[in-house]
Amino acid sequence: MKNASGQTFTGKLSGRPIFIPDVNAPPMPSIAPPGPICNGKPISAISAAELSSGHPDACSYRRRIGLLIPATNTAMEHELWSILIKNRENGLDGIGLHTSTVLTPKPVVDDAAGLDTFKRQFLGGIKTSVDSGLLARPQYFIMGCSLEHMLVGLDAIRANMAEAETYSPLSWASWHEAVQAAFQCYRVKRIGILTPWETLGNTSAIRMFEDMGVEVVTSVGLSCANIQHIAHLPDSAKEKAVLELLATKENKLDAVVQCGTNMSMTAVMEKLEPRIGIPILGINATLLWYALRENGFTAPVQHAGRLLREF
DSSP per residue over 242-300, as a string? IIIIIS-TTT--SEEEE--TTS--HHHHHHHHHHHSS-EEEHHHHHHHHHHHHTT--S-
Residues in the chain predicted with pLDDT less than 50, given as ranges, are 1-2
Between vectors from CA 252 to CA 279 and to CA 190, what angle results, nearest 5°?
A: 65
Q: How far apart are CA 166 and CA 169, in angstroms?
A: 7
Q: How far apart are CA 154 and CA 121, in angstroms?
A: 20
Residue 3: predicted pLDDT: 52
Residue 1: predicted pLDDT: 46
Q: How far apart are CA 243 and CA 265, in angstroms?
A: 14
Instruction: Return the closest-CA partner of residue 245 out of 232, 231, 258.
Output: 258
Residue 131: strand, helix, or coil: helix
Cα dist from 57 to 22, 122, 144, whole Å: 11, 30, 23
The CA R_g of the chain, rounded to the nearest whole Å, is 21
Between vectors from CA 116 to CA 112 and to CA 118, what angle results, nearest 5°?
A: 120
| 295 and 288 Cβ atoms separated by less than 8 Å | no
**List of residues 6+ apart from 40 with CB closer than 8 A:** none
Residue 50: predicted pLDDT: 94
Domains of the chain in start order, with CATH, are 187-285+300-310 (3.40.50.1860)
Give 63-93 pLDDT, tens digit per residue.
999 999 999 999 999 999 999 999 999 899 9
Residue 109: predicted pLDDT: 94
pTM for the structure as a whole: 0.96
